[in-house]
Amino acid sequence: MRPLTEAETRTVFEKLGRYIGENIQLLVDRPDGTYCFRLHRDRVYYLSEKLLKVAASVPRESLTALGTCFGKFTKTQKFRLSVTALDFLAPYAKFKVWVKPGSEQSFLYGNHVLKSGLGRITENTAQYQGVVVYSMADIPLGFGVAAKSTQECRKVDPMAIVVFHQADVGEYVRNEDTLM
């Protein structure tokens, strides 16, 4: 377990910034305590200082996970955000997509969101912008990347993909073994 280096921090912040923009500083600088990022076995964890002090006394081989896992670094040092970060992305998301009740299940199974399943989308969403996907009842379901900008979403045919799937809460059941 170690703190992130400068380059790694930059990679992680860039990835997070695609979804929550400048609200990252609300994650870094919190009024209710000191929270930090730590790297353990290529996974990035977000945890409070109190928890960090306790976790520091666990031997490295026995430590499985600590705090919230935000994602992991792949072999070529690219950062992949995982669904376990959703709790921290959802409240600070800048661009949101609401999915109709009919195609919620399709998204939760890992499919992309089609135009026919699109309920609402934030105005001014650019193409390939990171978005957080909600159900119509404002429950965060996961996150993805907007395949079309808001303007284009209005014009495309119903079978076109509007949001590429990246992570959804169904992964807790589907990828139970590999999530942590």
Partner 1 sequence: MVAVRVEEVLAAAEEQEAEKRRSVVVEKELELEFDLGNLLALDRNPPPAAQLRGVGPQREAQLLALARDNTQLLVAQLWELPAERAGGAGGPLVARLPEPTFRLPREKPPPRPKPPTRWEQFARLKGIRRRKRTSLVWDEQAKEWRRRWGYRRAGGDPARAWLAEVPAGADPEEDQFARLRREKRERVARNELNRLRNLARAHRAGAAVPAVPLHPTGHQSKEELSHVARVARVSTASLGRFQPRLPKEPAEPPSRSGGRKRRFEPLLGNLAAERSRQLELLKDMGSKKPVLDITRAVNKQLRQEEAEAAAAKGKKQSQRGKRGRRQ
Which residues in this chain contact partner 1 in the complex, by CB under 8 A? 1-3, 5-6, 9-10, 13-14, 17, 22, 24-25, 28-29, 34, 36, 38, 49, 52-53, 56, 124, 126-127, 149-151
- Are 110 and 128 in contact by the 8 Å Cβ rule? The answer is no
- Shorter beta-carbon distance to partner 1: residue 42 or 49: 49
Per-residue tokens: 150: 């808001």
Smallest distance from partner 1 to CB 163, Å? 17
How many residues make up the chain in this entry?
180
Q: What share of the chain is helix, strand, coil (3-state, %, to 5)?
A: 35, 30, 35
Report how far residue 12's alpha carbon sits from residue 130's, in angstroms, rounded to the nearest whole number: 14
Smallest distance from partner 1 to CB 31, Å? 12
- Shorter beta-carbon distance to partner 1: residue 13 or 72: 13
- Shorter beta-carbon distance to partner 1: residue 35 or 107: 35
